[in-house]
Amino acid sequence: MFGNHTRRDWLRAAAAVSGAYLAGPRVARAAQAPAGRVALARCGTYDPAELTPALRRMFDQLGGLGKLVNGKTVAMKINLTGSPTYRLGYEPLENTHYTHPAVIAATVQLLGRAGARRIRVLESPWATADPVEEYLLQANIEPRDILGAAPNVEFENTNYLGTAKKYARLRVPFGGYIFPAFDLNHSYEDCDVFVSLAKMKEHATAGITLSMKNCFGITPCTIYGEGAGVDEPSILPRGGRGPIHDGNRGPSKSAPQEKDPKSPRVDTWRVPRTVADLVSARPVHLAIVEGIKTMTGGEGPWVSPYQKAVEPGVLVAGLNPVNTDAVAMAAMGFDPMADRGTPPFEHCDSTLKLAEDAGVGTRSLSRIEVVGAKIAEVRFDFAALRRERDRMPERPLGMRG
């Protein structure tokens, strides 16, 4: 289960890394973790006549976009996980596992109307340095619909150095579970406001993928990927982020290395902690989870033969990613207070708990103010679908991004 490690080794390493801080300070940070407002809305279609007003109301319920973005540069990480050749049946990718372009365009439009000076739409497309626009075209998505939604909109592929002369180094304020800092594409530093625009999905390795897990993809594969350079970053990205999953090699030596190379080489232990480190190093100012249409059973069509397209018809938005993901989890029929061994974290650690323990935000619904629709009104029971799948034969593991 734990690679070359015994259970005793794994528990000892877990205590060394996760327990680097005494229980008292961890509890104190969790108790003091920010608690804010999260907006919920029912939205049944991607028609701008319904979608744009729904998003506008949600942003107004959060206090308005103007005071957040007026006169500022906004970076928005979207989710285009996996190759454009992967489809679930005959469904368009945006109906199952890609952030829907209508939601991206509507958000860009509202950011522009709120006075954003510059809007960068960011993604790290699978194993390529091609422009994000080309990647979208391969998925039959028209990038001009996004570029034309507001003034001064641009895409950037952040899977490599891109247009900058050097990578930006972002440090983890609490010291990090696995990494003390990350070297990232400049766009994650050269912004005033960072937005995570995610798809509502389950995940084969992390249990769920919402606004926080969406940030796993901000790590450039030229440094953290399977084909990364040894001493310096590679010129182009090759492959996925297997080394972060397995720990079979470190990042390029030019970047900050792992704190403890003897920690578990287990993806269900490593990925949640890396995500918690990332959202600490690169704070999310606006988290949006799009669940109008999505899929069950994992993060992409490659995960399981028992996946299917579904239509939860829900949108979630908040100013704190942990708060937002907690409400999104509840809307999926899961308990955001769940920990390892409990759905959806049957085989992995909870990213929400790890981020809460690091002081990023609370996952306790009793401390979060939910505005707009009530959770009970929008709940789509992914948990029940998971129980149904668990009665079926064993499923294959997913690909790793």
Q: Is the dihedral of CA 19, 21, 24, 29 positive or negative?
A: negative
Burial class (CB in 10 A: 0-12, 13-18, 19+), 223: buried
Asked if residue 212 lies in contact with residue 279, where contact means CB atoms within 8 angstroms, the answer is yes
More confident site: 303 or 207: 207
CA distance 329 to 41: 14
CA distance 44 to 26: 40
Residue type, position 122, single letter: L
CA distance 332 to 13: 33
Asked if residue 181 lies in contact with residue 256, where contact means CB atoms within 8 angstroms, the answer is yes
State the average pLDDT over residues 201-226: 96
269-328 pLDDT tens trace = 999 999 999 999 999 999 999 999 999 999 999 887 888 999 999 999 999 999 999 999
Per-residue pLDDT at 23: 54
56-72 pLDDT tens trace = 999 999 999 999 999 99
* In the chain, domain spans: 7-389
Q: What is the pTM of this model?
A: 0.91
The answer, yes or no, to whether residue 123 has pLDDT greater than 80, is: yes
